[in-house]
Structure 1
């Protein structure tokens, strides 16, 4: 992190400049056995493509509200940083009825249909796989994102003092996300916390990004026994845990 970083997107840019090859997000789903590891460079590439989709195809810009009806997942982390890159407000678990864009996982499609704006569906399958059939009224993220550009430039500058994130009813500006993320997660943190709270987002994304660390992000961690968890902590060289 640089002293001049004012938004979450700035944090990612600094991480990319400092060490693009280091691990940033290692994702486990302990209900399916899935494991995905993303370096800073790979994660940033997903963010750039997603931001291009959000700004270009979906027409989102600064101040627009993007409701994320998504579980704790590496693709959710990508969407959070894509929103920050565009200047849109990432509303985690918010009401889709008044959203400009809704982004839904496979288990929340019915609720997402209340959105009168653009709707994006994520299958959340291993390796970013597609839906077997695109849900009616949605675009399939896995179909649309691969063809997007690998570099992103916002149409308008992102104001760090404007709203950037809403979680559990609490609103943060981009500058507040950066400031409150710092100082706790400079190593390698294993987080089993949900993304529906600030504490979960800090441990599972923003803190490691702000402090030059990395995260082992675990979904369905309760399915893992204590012995297996201890083995994961050792094998992943975890320095802090949040459960």
Structure 2
């Protein structure tokens, strides 16, 4: 990664320039058996489409807040970097009534209705499937995002010193987030080509850093596991071996 990177979107651009084909996020859900692997290029394409949806579809502007009522998931990771690309604050698990827009998973749809702004629903189903019908009060992300452009450019340059992320009582600017992610990467011993397996929830900075930001800042990859408690110990050992994991946080 480049020393000049000051936002998560900068980190992703550097990763894309360095090695677009390497795995960035490998996601497992041990409740459904789902496995999804996204290269840097594929992840960046999802981010670009989602950022365009934010900027043009939701008319989100820098400084606005987007409540992300979502668990640790590969699509949540996409949304976090898309928010930083536009310059809006990603409020992970935040109060939808205080947000300008809300993005909710299937378990938080009722909560998300407290937001008076635009609302998007994610099914979080395998392969990013859409809902059979959009939930009441929401547009379906899986319906809206495919038509968005594959290249994103913000209408207003993103200020790295503006708030970028709120999670678990911690609020960070883009630059502060990048610096803290780099520190976490060093503490975890991450370097280019490393593979960190994380089963931690994303309700604290430590969880979301391990599951996304620290590997991204270090030029590493993450094996993101949801419902890991359903996997027997021998299953975890096999996963560590098959995914060439170099470090584990559960």
Same fold per superposition (TM over 0.5):
yes
d(CA) in 2 for partners of 1:28, 1:201: 16
Partner of 1:28: 28
Structure 2's unaligned 5+ residue stretches are: none
d(CA) in 2 for partners of 1:58, 1:169: 26
Q: Structure 1-normalised TM-score?
A: 0.99
Partner of 1:223: 230
Task: Report 1:1-243 matches (<5 A).
Answer: 1-182=1-182, 183=186, 184=188, 185-186=190-191, 187-243=194-250
Shift of 1:124: 0.6
Q: How many residues are matched?
A: 243
d(CA) in 1 for partners of 2:30, 2:43: 21
Shift of 1:199: 0.6
Match of 1:146, SS? helix
Structure 1's unaligned 5+ residue stretches are: none
Match of 1:72, SS? coil
Q: Structure 2-normalised TM-score?
A: 0.96
d(CA) in 1 for partners of 2:24, 2:204: 20
Shift of 1:196: 1.1
Match of 1:210, SS? helix
Shift of 1:150: 0.1
Match of 1:145, SS? helix
Shift of 1:133: 1.0
